[in-house]
Amino acid sequence: MRDRGEPERDWADAADDLRDDPEYQRIAAEDLANDYKVQDDRLERALERANEA
């Protein structure tokens, strides 16, 4: 399916390109921050439930 004469690239090369992209880095950082916030919220609720018991 390489009709434009471009060499075939593997997933690792594509992932390297993404990691070097500032927009990708920004989105990845936001996703990571959101993941930590969700975990923090869950921990806080668990501690509240434990304190109520």
Overall domain count for the chain: 1
26 close to 32: Cβ distance less than 8 angstroms: no
pTM metric for this prediction: 0.53
Q: Which domain holds residue 21?
A: 11-52
Q: How far is CA 52 from CA 46, 47, 49, in A?
A: 10, 9, 5
> Please, what is the angle between helix 22-52 and helix 11-20, to 10°?
80
Q: Is residue 1 part of a domain?
A: no
pLDDT band at 17; cut points 50, 70, 90 = confident
For residue 29, being part of any structural domain is answered with yes
Give 23-53 pLDDT, tens digit per residue: 988 998 999 999 999 999 999 999 999 999 8
Q: Which residue has the higher pLDDT, 49 or 6?
A: 49
Residue 46 lies in a domain: yes
Out of 3-7, 14-18, 19-23, 26-30, the most confident range is 26-30
Residue 43 domain flag: yes
